[in-house]
Structure 1
Amino acid sequence: MASTVLILFASLLAPFLFFLPGVDADTSSNVFSVQSYGAHGDGQHDDTKALGDTWSAACSSAKPAVVLIPKGKKYLTKHTTLFGPCKSSIMFMVKGTLVASPERSDWSKETIRHWILISGVTALTVTGGGTIDGNGMIWWQNSCKTNSKLPCTEAPTALTFLSCKNLKVENLKVVDSQQIQISVEDCTDVKVSRVSITAPETSPNTDGIHITRSRDVQVMDCTIKTGDDCMSIEDGTDNLYVKNIVCGPGHGISIGSLGDHNSEAHVNNVTIDTVRLYGTTNGARIKTWQGGKGSAKNIVFQNMIMNNVRNPIIIDQNYCDSSTPCKQQKSAVEVSNVLFKNIQGTSASEETIMLHCSSSVPCHGVTLENIKLTLKAGSSDAKSTCQNAEWKKFGSVSPQPCGFKN
């Protein structure tokens, strides 16, 4: 009788054993390991097909399934798309390392924008404590932003989530992406937590977490060190909550750029809460192009500590990332109802607060509350500059704001 009970207990426990230290995940029949589908795991042979076959098998499972990237091995892959919908929930368990092919020729014109693309999946969790390694050095060396004599070309995003619902990305390392590290596009109900993102300060366009056309997104407890924006929040973002982020080096946390090429863009209900920034180009930033239309509204930057940040607080409605000067235009993305609250620390430049708004569509409803920003060197006084900005203040604000008051 006792042996029968033990056997029954073991059978009930088996599906959960892969979560326990020292237990081989392959003991569960619902775990699909890339090793079982022909992967080499030596970092040299191409394991793209093995990853795709493993995903297809797991996605076809009628019961919740796990795609396993085993610990202690490196799996070299080229561009791959992991399609949904799947028959049940999927856990993408990255315990080892997925590493991108170092050959630029392995990406065609059709695939150059993505390395690992996960599309149309509901109830997906990506976790495991392993590493997504973009192997980006060769791409950075051939970027026009590194060498202006080279033509400007696109480069892959390491990990893209497209049209996913009920998505969790947690306990993961993303390093040295060819371009953007993680991109969330057209997704709903997303939670990103305990993710470490790292790329050299000199690596071009390596945004940490990029969010666009997505709603109900949370990003929490992440450390992001890149050569571009730690977070870039783009058109179509609605209801985003960000908390407990360490950022730097990089370009800070940016909403935008919005309205480029005379496009329409909308960002609404964004809260950035509890952030430490170290040596970044910008801190709390909103950037829009002239000629665009749409809105960026109901935005909160609060509880932020700046450490030697060049532009701690900045709204720029005249953003121009172009080799030629941008022409003056009459339309602009409207920026309104923006709160900067409880922000303190040091600036690497004299201008610590810049509200540079459009002459045709001035930003309005801007509130500054409990701000204290000083110069890192301490040799002169911190300053603020304003253009076409309607603002108000609460509590102590230093340096003293400028521009139009209400």
Structure 2
Amino acid sequence: MCSLSATLLAGALLCLAAPAVAARSPGRTFSVLSFGAAADGVTDDSEALVAAWEVACRVPRATVLLPSGHRFLVSPVTLQGPCNTKLTLQIDGTMLAPPEMGSWPKSRRPLQWLNFKWLQGFSIQGAGTVDGQSISLRSADPPANTSQGSARDWYASGVKPTLIRFYNSFNVTVRNIRITNSPQCHLKFDSSGGIKVKNITISSPGDSPNTDGIHLQNTRDVEIRSSSIGCGDDCVSIQTGCSNIHMKNIICNPGHGISVGGLGRDNSLACVSDVIAESINVQNALYGVRIKIWQGGVGSVRNITFSNIRVANVATPIAIDQFYCDRGRARCANRTGAVAITGVTYRRVVGTYSFQPVRLACSDARPCTGVSLVDVRLSPSPEPASAQQGPLCWNTYGEARGTVEPLGTGCLQRSNGYVTPLTQPFNYTC
């Protein structure tokens, strides 16, 4: 049995791996430096991180600490539970992903750098930075026996790593940290619930492809607040299986705005409900608030509210697209079905647009219903990026109330005894 001497506390904390000792050490902080981390930004510190995690995982209210003033290079790693209650990863230093392309595994399956699984009551917090070093990845020399062209093909493929991913985890909090330069999605939650994201900063170049800020799928009961997100894709992406999502006080600059979808790809079932985005500031973005649907899918999007949205130099501030195709529309076959959209409110959306103020393009077979535009005031940007277009409402039923500008933005069709949307019977369950 190891004794809890001062020497042990200073350096030999690996002895705490014994369950009997860990059980008597509640509320402990385990620095990765004590587990052999070099913390020089060059040496791989993955083993030290895993060792600290395995000990802390068995201690109630434990903390794994990456201290300030240090740089920790970490290879792709999985940190999993189940662990004891209220485990915290305290990032006060800088965590670095491998900068060379050859350091990342090649796979046709989705990759993750920091992969968290099966956790309850877990927190990531701190004053530090999680850096994916993807700028280095994009400009790096190709691995041995690989041409520059094939290296570019590898990076352009759909298997670029997600920086931080949570799977099947509940009551998780991420707060205060900075996440930057991800090869793909920055922060992803999959099959999880009870998620709180507060006061974080996400930063990647506006031209970095597929770098969603926060990506949600099959995840419920999510609160995202008081955060700044700049990336090359959706600032927040909400995918199938998500419900009870609340976003407030978010700055999106640059990016593709707040997006529900794309949903229904490859004729799949997609269900999203009860989403609120309020007090959102979107700048220098492709879209403001958007719902995007592939043709041919089934399912529903319902009870979505966008309120107090401020936009500046946004190409299209308000968008519903049931003809979405990220390969160019000419390469996507026309299909009759679509994920149904009902109960969408845009309230107090104000600011400037560079291309089109409103684009509501809904399916001929399954039009959008219950769409409301309330106090929408949009004006052209002083220096538009391209020729501007007027608002579009195609097979979109609802009403406009209050001040709606520019003229024609309230182009919604009304459902009454004389005009009703043509819909097909539902043959699915969400």
TM-score (norm 2): 0.84
Counterpart selection for 1:129 from 102, 127, 133: 127
Counterpart selection for 1:160 from 159, 165, 173: 165
Report 1:283-362 matches (<5 A). Answer: 283-322=288-327, 325-349=331-355, 351-362=356-367
Question: Structure 1 residues 151 and 180 mapped into 2: Cα distance closer, same or farther (>3 Å)?
Answer: closer
Report 1:7-406 matches (<5 A). Answer: 30-61=28-59, 63-109=60-106, 113-141=111-139, 152-322=157-327, 325-349=331-355, 351-377=356-382, 383-399=390-406, 400=408, 401-406=410-415
Larger proportion of strand: 1
Aligned residues: 377
Q: Which runs of 4+ in 1 moved over 4 A?
A: 141-144, 146-151, 378-382
Distance 1:369 1:345 in 2: 14
Q: Give 1:240 deviation, angstroms.
A: 0.3
Q: Write the deviation string for residues 99-145 of structure 1: whole angstroms up to 9, x where unpaired.
A: 0011222222458610001111101111011110001124445899x
Q: Letter of the aligned partner of 1:384 in structure 2?
A: P
Distance 1:336 1:298 in 2: 7
The answer (yes or no) to whether the contact 1:139–1:155 under 8 Å persists in 2 is no
Q: Letter of the aligned partner of 1:383 in structure 2?
A: G
Distance 1:260 1:137 in 2: 30
Distance 1:93 1:365 in 2: 45
Q: Letter of the aligned partner of 1:164 in structure 2?
A: S
Distance 2:154 2:48 in 1: 39
Identity %: 36
Distance 1:29 1:354 in 2: 53
Q: SS of the counterpart of 1:328?
A: coil
Q: Write the deviation string for residues 343-394 of structure 1: whole angstroms up to 9, x where unpaired.
A: 1000011x21110001111111101000000101289997211111112111
Distance 1:91 1:117 in 2: 15
Q: Write the deviation string for residues 201-225 of structure 1: whole angstroms up to 9, x where unpaired.
A: 1111111011111111000000001
Distance 2:291 2:87 in 1: 36
Q: Give 1:248 deviation, angstroms.
A: 1.0
Structure 1 unaligned spans of 5+: 1-27
Question: Structure 1 residues 55 and 152 mapped into 2: Cα distance closer, same or farther (>3 Å)?
Answer: same
Question: Structure 1 residues 252 and 166 mapped into 2: Cα distance closer, same or farther (>3 Å)?
Answer: same
Q: Letter of the aligned partner of 2:314 in structure 1?
A: V
Q: Give 1:185 deviation, angstroms.
A: 1.1
Distance 1:340 1:38 in 2: 53
Distance 2:327 2:390 in 1: 27
Question: Structure 1 residues 109 and 132 mapped into 2: Cα distance closer, same or farther (>3 Å)?
Answer: same
The answer (yes or no) to whether the contact 1:293–1:333 under 8 Å persists in 2 is yes
The answer (yes or no) to whether the contact 1:140–1:204 under 8 Å persists in 2 is no
Distance 2:379 2:153 in 1: 35
Q: Letter of the aligned partner of 2:326 in structure 1?
A: D
Residue 9 of structure 2 aligns with which residue? none
Distance 2:400 2:206 in 1: 35
The answer (yes or no) to whether the contact 1:140–1:203 under 8 Å persists in 2 is no
Q: Letter of the aligned partner of 2:208 in structure 1?
A: S
Q: Write the deviation string for residues 176-230 of structure 1: whole angstroms up to 9, x where unpaired.
A: 0111000011111111000000001111111101111111100000000111111
The answer (yes or no) to whether the contact 1:375–1:382 under 8 Å persists in 2 is no
Question: Structure 1 residues 126 and 151 mapped into 2: Cα distance closer, same or farther (>3 Å)?
Answer: closer
Residue 9 of structure 1 aligns with which residue? none
Residue 420 of structure 2 aligns with which residue? none
Distance 1:51 1:106 in 2: 18
